[in-house]
Amino acid sequence: MTNGSDQVFLVTGSNSGSSRGYLKKSSFHINDIKDTKILNLSSIYQSKSYGPIKQRDYLNQAIHIETKLTAFELLDELLIIEDKLGRVRKEKWGPRTIDIDIIFYGDDQISTPKLTIPHYDWENRDFFIAGLKEINCPFIKGNGLSFKNVKKLI
């Protein structure tokens, strides 16, 4: 699919219900998006919740895909997957069945109310960095985070 395709890096996260199951289902749905193919998946990482709301730990996984969709088309498809998997948006940083973030879309930089790429604050989130580093995301080299806040799961 390489001709006319973009390299994209996503991170999925879940801390409600069967989190492993939601990560697995999301990757199946992502691979079913038209003109999109999963190239690599990281291990699953456990991390503390992010933000002010006390909740259970998250499971996260980085995904390297190739797609012919624009960043906005891809975002729309990912939001449909989140809806299919029961994502409810009650409160910012609240618990969720699945969250699918576009971290990098090629080397594009986008800043709109609907989409920011690279994902805002990505450099300060160990749970993004650990999985992205594992799948050789070219933007992660030399980041230097200690990954003290994540635990690789087998």
Which residues are tagged catalytic? 87, 96, 99, 101
Instruction: Specify the DSSP element, H or E, that contains 41.
Output: strand 36-41
CA atoms 36, 42, 43, 45: torsion sign = negative
Q: How far apart are CA 34 and CA 14, in angstroms?
A: 24
Taking phi over 0 as left and psi of -120 to 50 as alpha, with beta for the rest, 80 belongs to alpha
Do 55 and 49 touch, CB atoms closer than 8 A?
yes
What spatial distance separates the first Cα and last Cα of the chain, rounded to whole Å?
31
Q: Helix count (H) and strand count (E) of the chain?
A: 3, 8
* Number of C-beta neighbours around residue 70 at 10 A: 13
For tokens 């990098």, name the residue.
104
